[in-house]
């Protein structure tokens, strides 16, 4: 039996978890990566110096063709560390979500079927997936600056419910949630000292560190 492989290219905003661009193709190609990045930057209105693109070390992402495009767009590029499979946990988490969806097919019969599944998945992922890492909001809500408004309305309704039925809130009055203020793939050093594992997790989760 001869297997047919499809390659999924995804751009993920690690702050909001929003996917602004993706393509499915039958080959790995620097041309396709260039096309996806160029079109996504144009669609999102990315200004020079505004974006940092973190990628793996695959040949399409390491190509001179793509490097020239990123230079022309004013996009800073960083790479995963060699032999560090968990260097981009946000991308790994998104890919795991895709594979474990109930509707993920046992097989993809054609490029069109793969594109159809991904089209449905990424619409759901952006608009209906309430993510624990962003205060149980959808990526779309955070990406388009609606988080504060939605969280305020949610908190108001929770307070009203608490006033009417405090016995249902076994942990006491509800607390207002906030989205992280900053998100890091590789957390920076603090005062020249590398962060410990617990601090790295807290920085990724909350966007801040305890005062010292």
pLDDT for residue 139 = 97
Which pLDDT does position 199 carry in this prediction? 45
Distance of CA 153 to the CA centre of its chain: 25
Domain spans, the chain: 7-134, 145-206
Confidence (pLDDT) at 197: 47
The CATH superfamily of 7-134 is: Ribonuclease H-like superfamily/Ribonuclease H (3.30.420.10)
**Smallest Cα–Cα separation from 207: which of 20, 16, 53?**
16
pTM of the model: 0.82
- Please tell me the predicted confidence (pLDDT) of residue 202: 47
The span from the CA of 149 to the CA of 50, in Å, is: 25
Regions of the chain short of the pLDDT cut 50: 191, 195-212
Q: Which pLDDT value is given to residue 80?
A: 79
Query: Which neighbouring-strand residues pair with 21?
Result: 11
Q: Cα separations (Å) of 169 from 23, 74, 157, 166?
A: 45, 50, 13, 6
Task: Round the CA-based radius of gyration of the chain to a whole number and report it.
Answer: 20
What DSSP element (H or E) covers 23? strand 21-25
Name, in order, each residue with C-beta under 8 angstroms of 77's C-beta and a sequence gap of 6 or more: 52, 53, 54, 55, 67, 70
Query: pLDDT by residue (tens digit) across 57-112?
Result: 777 777 888 888 888 889 888 877 776 666 778 888 999 999 999 999 988 889 99
What confidence score (pLDDT) does residue 166 get?
95
């Amino acid at each position: 039996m001869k297997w047919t492989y499809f390659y999924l290219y995804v751009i993920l905003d690690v702050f909001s978890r929003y996917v602004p661009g993706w393509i499915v193709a039958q080959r790995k190609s620097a041309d396709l990566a260039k096309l996806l990045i160029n079109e996504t930057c144009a669609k999102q209105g990315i200004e020079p110096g505004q974006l940092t693109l973190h990628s793996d070390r695959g040949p399409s992402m390491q190509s001179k063709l793509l490097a020239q495009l990123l230079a022309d767009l004013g996009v800073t590029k960083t790479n995963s560390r060699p032999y560090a499979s968990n260097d981009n946990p946000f991308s790994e988490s998104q890919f795991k979500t895709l594979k474990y969806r109930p509707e993920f097919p046992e097989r993809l019969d054609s490029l069109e079927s793969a594109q159809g599944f991904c089209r449905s998945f990424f619409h759901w992922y952006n608009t209906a997936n309430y993510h624990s890492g962003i205060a149980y909001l959808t990526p779309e809500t955070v990406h388009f600056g609606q988080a504060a408004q939605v969280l305020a309305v949610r908190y108001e309704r929770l307070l009203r419910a608490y006033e009417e039925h405090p016995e249902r809130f076994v942990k006491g009055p509800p607390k207002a949630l906030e989205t992280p203020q900053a998100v890091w793939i590789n957390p920076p050093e603090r005062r020249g000292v590398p962060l410990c594992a617990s601090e790295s997790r807290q920085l990724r989760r909350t966007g801040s560190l305890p005062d010292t």
